[in-house]
């Protein structure tokens, strides 16, 4: 049971990190694309 909770917490952590990375990528593309188009 404890290891399951650990896994859950770990996957949540990965999800949060992925969300942050996606946010950064979105902002970067918003900045870059107007110059290209």
- Predicted local distance difference test score (pLDDT) of residue 7: 92
pLDDT band at 36 (very low <50, low <70, confident <90, very high): low
Task: Print burial letters for 10-22: b (CB count within 10 Å at least 16), e (below 16).
Answer: eeeeeeeeeeeee
- Inform me whether the pLDDT recorded for 5 exceeds 90: no
- pLDDT given at position 30: 85
**For 1-5, what is the mean pLDDT?**
84
> Strand, helix or coil at 24?
helix
Q: Please list the alpha-helical segments (H only) found in the chain.
A: 2-36
Mean local confidence (pLDDT), 7-17: 93
| Higher per-residue pLDDT: 22 or 2 | 22
CA distance 17 to 11: 10
């Amino acid at each position: 049971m404890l290891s399951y909770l650990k896994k859950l917490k770990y996957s949540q952590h990965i999800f949060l990190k992925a969300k942050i990375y996606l946010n950064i990528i979105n902002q970067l593309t918003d900045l870059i694309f107007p110059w290209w188009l």
